[in-house]
Chains A and B, each alone.
Chain A
Amino acid sequence: MFGLASKVVEETMKKADKNKNGSNLPRAKDFKLPKRLTKDQKELIEATREAMKALKEEEAKYGKKTYL
Chain B
Amino acid sequence: MAKKPICDTSVFSDYADYIDRIILSVLFPTIVLFELVATSLDEATLQKYERWRILLNKNNCLINLTTSDWWETSKAIRRLYLKGIEQPSKIKTLRNDALIARLAVIHGGFVVTHDIDDFEIIQKVMPRLEIISAQEFFNY
How many residues of chain A are within 8 Å of chain B by beta carbon?
Answer: 38
Classify the secondary structure of B's interface with A: helix
The answer to whether A44 has its CB under 8 Å from any CB of chain B is: yes
Check A28–B16 contact: CB distance below 8 A.
no
The answer to whether B35 has its CB under 8 Å from any CB of chain A is: yes
Check A44–B59 contact: CB distance below 8 A.
yes
Residues of B within 8 A of A50 (CB): 48, 51-52
The answer to whether A43 has its CB under 8 Å from any CB of chain B is: yes
The answer to whether B137 has its CB under 8 Å from any CB of chain A is: yes
Per-residue CB proximity of B11-37 to A under 8 Å, as 1/0?
011001111111111000000000110
Task: Identify which of residues 39-68 in chain A touch chain B, using a CB-to-CB cut-off of 8 Å.
Answer: 40-41, 43-45, 47-59, 61-62, 64-68
Residues of B within 8 A of A57 (CB): 45
Q: Provided the pairs A25-B132, A59-B13 are in contact, do residues A52 and B2 lie with their beta carbons within 8 angstroms? A: no
Q: Can you list 27 A-B contacts with CB-CB less than 8 angstroms, sorted by A residue number?
A: A21-B132, A25-B130, A27-B137, A28-B5, A28-B21, A28-B22, A28-B138, A31-B24, A40-B58, A41-B24, A44-B58, A44-B59, A47-B52, A50-B48, A50-B52, A51-B48, A51-B49, A55-B36, A56-B16, A58-B41, A62-B41, A64-B13, A65-B39, A67-B35, A68-B93, A68-B95, A68-B96
Give me the interface of B with A, judged by CB distance under 8 Å: 2-3, 5, 9-10, 12-13, 16-25, 35-36, 39-42, 44-45, 48-49, 51-52, 55-56, 58-59, 61, 93, 95-96, 110, 123, 130-133, 136-138, 140
Give me the interface of A with B, judged by CB distance under 8 Å: 19-22, 25-31, 33-34, 40-41, 43-45, 47-59, 61-62, 64-68
